[in-house]
Amino acid sequence: MKQIYVGLTGNEAVATAFKQARPHVAPAFPITPQTEMMHKFADFVADGAVDTEMILVESEHSAMSAAIGSAATGARTFTATSSAGFALMWEVVYIAASLRLPICMPVVNRALSGNINIHNDHSDAMGGRDAGWIQLWCENTQEAYDHALMCWRIAEHKDVCLPVMINYDGFIISHTSESLHILPDEDAWKFVGPKDLKTGYSLLDVDHPITVGPLDLTDYYFEHKISQIEALKRAPQHIAEVYKEFGALTGRHYSFFEEYRTDDADLVIVALGSTAGTAKDVIDAQREKGVKVGLLKIHMFRPFPAAELAKALSKAKVVGVMDKSASFGGWGGPLFNEIRSALYDLPARPKIHNWIYGLGGRDTDTKQIVALIEQLQAIAKGREAETVNLLGVRL
């Protein structure tokens, strides 16, 4: 298939993909750095490139609430947010998943207040990691575009019916122009397809009325939560199918996580988002020097592919998990905790250490990653080291 080679920011690329998916409804409220995604989408609507009804709400809480009301009718629905906006909608983010509504939402990752900070880290999305949404993470503009097309097929699959959060780093991805391949509109539409409005229930079917969001007491709530857990367990196989089909169509092959030069790696860095790009560059240079280091970049953080990750990391001697968020009072960051737990049952576990880095958009340059790799090397040689470490902070 012929693709179009363009230069777009992450926000523009995602808006383009969403335009191609022809959503019915998009509630929107501004917050940096998500704003430009909605600006671009509003331009498409204003120019008649897509006939989506936008609801320009007065808060993120209302954005997600309106998305719930819309998606409950069967309408294809998205909104987008960042940071404090995500925190404000937290209550209804849970409800969207509980009602099994296939809403798609970019979370353009930004630090949480306070102090107020508009720059990138992952504390916003990590606060919502247990909300029942599928969480997909992107390294660059291309991946953000691709996931913004694929998310509909995943969310709306009849055996999934769950909302999907697409994470991409604020400013680093959202505001940086990169060259990427996009699909022509008609091919994108052929891939995404129309929303199946025949299966399932609609709030607008006044001839077959349903009650959505009733009160659950002790006799049913637990079972309803289990049905969400079961849906999340079913999701990976459908995500894999969508990845496969997209790969065949575009030549861009995705999996739950990407393994970069890990085949013979003694040292493996695990990371989410744009840091993976920087790490790859450093790894290439280190490989030139003979250092056996690789990277594992996670796309699918929820549901968490524990068994697959354990297998992939089983051959490493030392694993360094990079967390761009802090778990205050906890022992290490959220990604570290999940990885370490996933590896616990391995007959021979690698050493696993954690680095908290880049909070509030502190730049994570190649020197920091080199320093991290040097520490991994030292640990491999038997040097004692802290389990939880900091990277790039003044102490």
Partner 1 sequence: MAVNLQTLSKHEDLLSGGHRACAGCTGSNILRQIMLTAGRDTVVGGATGCMEVVTTIFPYTAWKTPFIHSAFENCAATISGAETAFRALKKRGELPVPREKINFIAFGGDGGTYDIGLQSLSGAMERGHNMLYVCYDNEAYMNTGIQRSGATPFGAHTSTAPAGKVKQGKDRHRKDLTKIMVAHNIPYVAQSTPFHWKDLQMKVRKALDVDGPAFINVLMPCTVGWGFDPALGMELAKMATDCNFWPLFEVENGEYKLTYKPKADRTPIVEWLKTQVRFKHLFKPGNEGLLEEIQRWVDDEQRKLLKLCGEA
The contacts of residue 335 (CB under 8 Å, 6+ apart) are 270, 272, 298, 301, 321, 322, 323
Whichever of 210 and 248 has its CB closer to partner 1, that residue is: 210
> Is 80:15 a contact under the CB 8 Å cutoff?
no
Work out whether 213 is an interface residue with partner 1 (CB under 8 A).
yes
Work out whether 62 is an interface residue with partner 1 (CB under 8 A).
yes
> Is 278:369 a contact under the CB 8 Å cutoff?
yes
Work out whether 226 is an interface residue with partner 1 (CB under 8 A).
no
3-state DSSP assignment of residue 340: helix
The full length of the chain comes to 395
Site string for partner 1, 342-381 (x = CB under 8 A): ----------------------------------------
Whichever of 91 and 241 has its CB closer to partner 1, that residue is: 91
The single residue among 3, 35, 176, 202 that binds partner 1, judged by CB under 8 A, is: 202
Q: What is the Cβ-side half-sphere exposure of residue 230, based on CA atoms within 13 angstroms?
A: 7
For residue 366, how many other CB atoms are within 10 A of its CB?
A: 12
The alpha carbon dihedral of 282, 288, 294, 297 has a sign of positive
Work out whether 92 is an interface residue with partner 1 (CB under 8 A).
yes
Site string for partner 1, 310-349 (x = CB under 8 A): ----------------------------------------
> Is 152:238 a contact under the CB 8 Å cutoff?
no
Instruction: Pick the stretch among 6-14, 69-77, 164-172, 253-261 that binds partner 1 (CB under 8 A).
Output: 69-77
Q: How many residues touch partner 1 (CB under 8 A)?
A: 47
The separation between CA 140 and the C-alpha centre of its own chain, rounded to angstroms, equals 12
> Is 271:297 a contact under the CB 8 Å cutoff?
yes
The single residue among 5, 47, 48, 215 that binds partner 1, judged by CB under 8 A, is: 215
Work out whether 59 is an interface residue with partner 1 (CB under 8 A).
yes
Cα distance between residue 185 and residue 21, in whole Å = 9
Work out whether 48 is an interface residue with partner 1 (CB under 8 A).
no
Work out whether 57 is an interface residue with partner 1 (CB under 8 A).
yes
The single residue among 6, 49, 50, 212 that binds partner 1, judged by CB under 8 A, is: 212
Q: Which residues bind partner 1 (CB under 8 A)?
A: 24-25, 27, 51-53, 55-59, 61-63, 65-75, 77, 91-92, 95, 99, 197, 202-207, 209-217, 220
